[in-house]
Amino acid sequence: MSGPRRAERFEPAEVEPRWTAAWEEAGVGHADPSSDRPPYTIAIPPPNVTGALHIGHALNNTIQDVLIRAHRMAGFETFWICGTDHAGIATQAVVEKALAAEGIRREDLGREEFVRRVWEWKEEYGGRIIDQLKRLGCTLDYARERFTMDDAYVAAVLEVFVALHAKGYISRDRYIVNWDPGLGSAISDLEVEDREVTDTLVRIAYPLADGSGEVVVATVRPETMLGDTAVAVNPGDERYRHLIGRTAILPLVGRELPILGDEHVDPEFGTGALKITPAHDPNDFEIARRHDLPAVGVIGEDGRMTPEAGKRYAALTPAEAADRVMADLREQGLVRGEEPYTHTVPFSHRSGARVEPLVSLQWFCDMSRLAAPAIAAVEEGRVRFHPAKWGDVYLAWMREIRPWCISRQLWWGHQLPVWYRGEETYVGREAPDGDGWERDPDVLDTWFSSALWPFATLGWPERTPELERFYPTQVLSTARDIIFLWVARMVMMGIEFTREEPFADVAIHAVVQAPDGRRMSKSLGTGIDPMDEIERHGADALRFGLLMMSSTQDVRFSRERIDQGRQLVTKLWNAVRLVVERGGRAGAGPVEPASLADRWIASRVADAVERGAGHLDRFELAQLADLVYHVVFDEYCDWYLELLKAGEASPEMAGAALEQLLALAHPLMPFVTEEGWSRLPGATGLMAVHTAPRTPGPRDEAAEAEMAAVQEAVTALRGYRSRRGLPPRAPLLMDPAPHLAVVALDWVEAAPEGEREGLVPTLLGDGRSIGVGPAREAVDPEVERARLADELAAAESELARAEAKLGNAAFVERAPAHLVDAEREKVERYGAERDSLAARLAALQ
């Protein structure tokens, strides 16, 4: 008594880790600078050292692994640079949070001890994402893992800072910056996001000094009036022109404010008179520079009112100060109106706090001269974006580039190579000689060090073998959200310090959103953990699904795509089992086709290989995934393997075609293809380094046309069988030789005389017969009548359509001849079919 036969199932959880280990052991990802193969390098966008793999990482790294694996198999010496980023703010925040759980503040520890704790944290938890990348199947060069705070990397960062300072690009300035009160640090323009907020727009009367009246200003930040140093009006504004040059008195403070004219003021807005607070508004800051006005800082870096705001307000929060100012103004009868006002307000991307613009002493990098060659690089095509439109976005930003505030008031990061002693300032990697020098406590913006990633990871400024051999890199793959933050800055720094563009192609991929269209984020609870998906269906399925989703636009996460990947994995696996069972082999070299089916599949595989290479060249990975799916599923499995089972194809060709398909699919689904390869007799070595030439064979148009006829016929017969309710077990055999299929169906006798022609016109076109056997089912005349009526209606509709087209003289005259001929052919064919169907229907009545 034997139970049902059990298929050997593909178990990703068992299979995948095994191959990850095998690839690592074989050094698949390890680059050899002395190799004579052409280099192909990608620098991974370094994930945050404390981070975990999210969907965006999974997609981005799948894309990179596809590119790397495909080029490795194509004979390149591939180097996928591996590493993590110290991610100053994010990492510091994570560690601070952990310390807070123990009731410790970083100030309690002091800087040195705190930084030591961060390093401890990094050693303990820093490798998690690297392990996750291995689980995803990524063949990075793990042995050369880099970190943006490695000694060599730090040296590169300091070298760059010193060099840029020497050229006069980096300097220290007192300037209005985006102050993040939550972080206690300045942040750059790119780390600020606008949010809509409804505030109250209040109108405040400022009395004129000569007692002749008042000027009314409008503001949403009444507490900033304490720092006003002028009132501005538009010089063309008739209402106020006479006030220019006169003086107003700042209420509550008593300061004299010059009234001046400036084109920036919009007469239409508010009252048309603008209070000028140079220390707390970027526009006011500019106006103040133009008119040489002093700045009075009333909000401090601690986020509270300063002594300069006056005793009554000092140490309050700005919100408290606003209330008190309003109360005091009301008391003095100086409030002239209040209305709700909705506008955009800057918030910190980092801490979420409302950004407080304030004047602060910071280090800035002038980007204008760095930008010029980086603009030319894209304009002249040495750096190409895919899709190309992102190049325009890059250029638009670069052409309007502004100074970059690079200093951060944090503890974790690259401390500035700047020393002070009294009034002296020294910039250099080592402290200068002499006593009393103190190092600037600030650190650099994380993106400053990230900007050096493609060459600092290769040992620059040393001329290492890796740098000589693998720089510049070929491709940079990322989502669009860091084009400015990172991509643009890498191009600038790469050109400045290596005289070469750091990469030639920038592949911009989709941003994966939550299934409901919201942003995927842990805090919103909309995140999807890729490791869960791997657990569910395996890394291959996840990789495939993500690639299918990665068309050029933003896309919602769809688990169905991962299911589709799982289907393909299963299909491929079972195809291997069947081919092995039928005696198929790998590595047999060119196989002589033994049948129409063989010729057909060889041609279809050649087509897929060729189109796949094109998709890869154009970074169209979603199309590549779709192509692989269809050639494997629809062509190889649905048709070719069915023909193999029917004895219409040869095991030799089945093995050869499978070898090519496994190689084609391997970069997308490395695990199942590697496992399948290992099961195929004759297969040697790892599929991951399978470099057998995959130049596409010749297409066989004749075989494709004949096979199309067979497919059409078989599909028609299956449809007929199903509509007639005949048993699906009824055999359906094909003999493709020499030119067409002869179909034998033992139920065909049930079809009325004459119907067979309409059923399989392709087959009977040159007189071949259908083999017949005993009828198994009686046909219900009612059902049959209805079916014939439907088919008659369809034929008539087709006929009418073709006749209408041919009735259009312009069509006959101007359309290509083959299309016109096709319509003429249809008129004949459907005319005959209509007549035949009508006759049969009449016979049934």
DSSP-derived 3-state class of residue 678:
helix
Kindly report each contact of residues 17-22 with a partner whose C-beta sits within 8 Å and lies 24 or more positions away, as own/partner.
Answer: 17/135, 19/137, 19/670, 19/671, 19/674, 19/675, 20/134, 20/135, 20/137, 22/674, 22/686
> At closest approach, how far in Å is the CB of 118 from RNA?
29
> At closest approach, how far in Å is the CB of 709 from RNA?
15
Judged by CB under 7 A, does residue 708 bind RNA?
Answer: no
User: How would you class 769 by CB atoms within 10 Å of its CB: exposed for 0-12, middle for 13-18, buried for 19 or more?
Assistant: exposed
Q: Which is nearer to RNA, 574 or 762 (CB)?
A: 574
Nearest one of 440, 361, 353, 347 to 93, comparing CA atoms: 353
User: How would you class 686 by CB atoms within 10 Å of its CB: exposed for 0-12, middle for 13-18, buried for 19 or more?
Assistant: middle
Q: Which is nearer to RNA, 199 or 500 (CB)?
A: 199
Question: What whole-number distance in Å separates Cα of residue 447 and Cα of residue 452?
Answer: 9
Q: Which is nearer to RNA, 157 or 717 (CB)?
A: 717
> At closest approach, how far in Å is the CB of 64 from RNA?
20
User: How would you class 698 by CB atoms within 10 Å of its CB: exposed for 0-12, middle for 13-18, buried for 19 or more?
Assistant: exposed
Distances (CA, A) of 259 to 5, 221, 233, 611, 766: 94, 20, 7, 70, 99
- The overall longest dimension of the chain from CA atoms, in Å, is 117
Residue 550's beta-bridge partner residues? none
Nearest one of 556, 475, 605 to 44, comparing CA atoms: 475
| Count of chain residues binding RNA (CB under 7 A) | 99
> At closest approach, how far in Å is the CB of 285 from RNA?
11
- Out of 254, 590, 814, 845, point to the residue binding RNA (CB under 7 A): 814
> At closest approach, how far in Å is the CB of 161 from RNA?
24
Q: How many CB atoms lie within 10 A of CB 80?
A: 27
Cα angle 829, 834, 840 (rounded to 5 degrees) comes to 130
> At closest approach, how far in Å is the CB of 246 from RNA?
19
Q: Which is nearer to RNA, 385 or 460 (CB)?
A: 385
Q: Which is nearer to RNA, 67 or 274 (CB)?
A: 274
Judged by CB under 7 A, does residue 618 bind RNA?
Answer: no
- Out of 18, 241, 718, 739, point to the residue binding RNA (CB under 7 A): 718
The contact pattern for RNA, residues 8-27, with x = CB under 7 A and - = no contact, is -xxxx---------------
Q: Which of the stretches 89-97, 122-130, 215-223, 466-474 binds RNA when contact is defined by CB under 7 A?
A: 215-223
> At closest approach, how far in Å is the CB of 163 from RNA?
27
Question: What whole-number distance in Å separates Cα of residue 232 and Cα of residue 289?
Answer: 13
Q: Which of the stretches 152-160, 455-463, 685-693, 797-805 binds RNA when contact is defined by CB under 7 A?
A: 797-805
> At closest approach, how far in Å is the CB of 189 from RNA?
6
Residue for token digits 């319509």?
A: 823
- Segment 242-301, which members bind RNA (CB under 7 A)? 264-272, 274-275, 281-283
Distances (CA, A) of 85 to 147, 405, 453: 6, 20, 9
Nearest one of 368, 415, 346, 386 to 161, comparing CA atoms: 415
Question: Length of the chain in residues, anyone?
Answer: 845
- What torsion, rounded to 10 degrees, do the Cα atoms 706, 707, 711, 714 define? 70
Q: Which is nearer to RNA, 136 or 218 (CB)?
A: 218
Q: Which is nearer to RNA, 242 or 402 (CB)?
A: 402
Judged by CB under 7 A, does residue 220 bind RNA?
Answer: yes
Judged by CB under 7 A, does residue 712 bind RNA?
Answer: no
> At closest approach, how far in Å is the CB of 40 from RNA?
25
Q: Which is nearer to RNA, 728 or 738 (CB)?
A: 728
- Segment 115-144, which members bind RNA (CB under 7 A)? none
Q: Which is nearer to RNA, 188 or 474 (CB)?
A: 188
Q: Give the type of residue at 292.
A: D
- Out of 96, 704, 798, 803, point to the residue binding RNA (CB under 7 A): 798
> At closest approach, how far in Å is the CB of 228 from RNA?
10
> At closest approach, how far in Å is the CB of 626 from RNA?
5
> At closest approach, how far in Å is the CB of 592 from RNA?
24
The contact pattern for RNA, residues 337-376, with x = CB under 7 A and - = no contact, is ------xx-x------------------------------
122-157 burial code (b ≥16 CB/10 A, e <16): beebbebbbebbbbbbbbbbbebbbbbbeebbbbbb
**How far does CA 672 lie from the centroid of its chain?**
25
The contact pattern for RNA, residues 452-491, with x = CB under 7 A and - = no contact, is -----------------------------x--x-------
Judged by CB under 7 A, does residue 736 bind RNA?
Answer: no
- Segment 139-198, which members bind RNA (CB under 7 A)? 189-190, 192-194
> At closest approach, how far in Å is the CB of 361 from RNA?
21
236 backbone dihedrals φ, ψ, rounded to 5°: -90, 5
Q: Alpha helices of 618-747 — where are they, by DSSP H?
A: 621-630, 642-645, 651-665, 670-679, 701-723
- Out of 171, 332, 425, 722, point to the residue binding RNA (CB under 7 A): 722
Nearest one of 229, 405, 199, 409 to 318, comparing CA atoms: 199
- Out of 238, 400, 532, 753, point to the residue binding RNA (CB under 7 A): 400
Judged by CB under 7 A, does residue 733 bind RNA?
Answer: no
> At closest approach, how far in Å is the CB of 759 from RNA?
13
**How far does CA 399 lie from the centroid of its chain?**
24
Cis peptide before 461 (omega within 30 of 0): yes
H or E segment to which residue 438 belongs? strand 438-439
DSSP-derived 3-state class of residue 23:
helix
- Segment 511-540, which members bind RNA (CB under 7 A)? 513, 515, 517, 519, 537
36 backbone dihedrals φ, ψ, rounded to 5°: -95, 10
> At closest approach, how far in Å is the CB of 667 from RNA?
19
Q: Which is nearer to RNA, 161 or 240 (CB)?
A: 240
- Segment 624-683, which members bind RNA (CB under 7 A)? 626, 629, 633, 637-638, 641-642, 645
The contact pattern for RNA, residues 36-65, with x = CB under 7 A and - = no contact, is ------------------------------
Decide if 491 contacts 520 (C-beta within 8 A): no
- Segment 411-450, which members bind RNA (CB under 7 A)? none
Q: Which is nearer to RNA, 19 or 460 (CB)?
A: 19
Residue 174's beta-bridge partner residues? 361
Q: Which of the stretches 93-101, 397-405, 658-666, 771-779 binds RNA when contact is defined by CB under 7 A?
A: 397-405
- Segment 546-585, which members bind RNA (CB under 7 A)? 549, 551-556, 558, 560-561, 563-564, 566-567, 569-571, 574-575, 577-578, 581
- Can you spell out the DSSP letters for 166-221? HTT-EEEEEEEEEEETTTTEEE-GGGEEEEEEEEEEEEEEEEBTTSS-EEEEEES-
> At closest approach, how far in Å is the CB of 283 from RNA?
6
- Out of 715, 733, 754, 843, point to the residue binding RNA (CB under 7 A): 715
Question: What whole-number distance in Å separates Cα of residue 171 and Cα of residue 367?
Answer: 12
> At closest approach, how far in Å is the CB of 516 from RNA?
8
Q: Which is nearer to RNA, 467 or 549 (CB)?
A: 549
Q: Which of the stretches 140-148, 314-322, 372-380, 715-723 binds RNA when contact is defined by CB under 7 A?
A: 715-723
DSSP state of 310: -
Judged by CB under 7 A, does residue 719 bind RNA?
Answer: yes
- Out of 104, 801, 803, 841, point to the residue binding RNA (CB under 7 A): 801
Token readout for 448 is: 């400053």
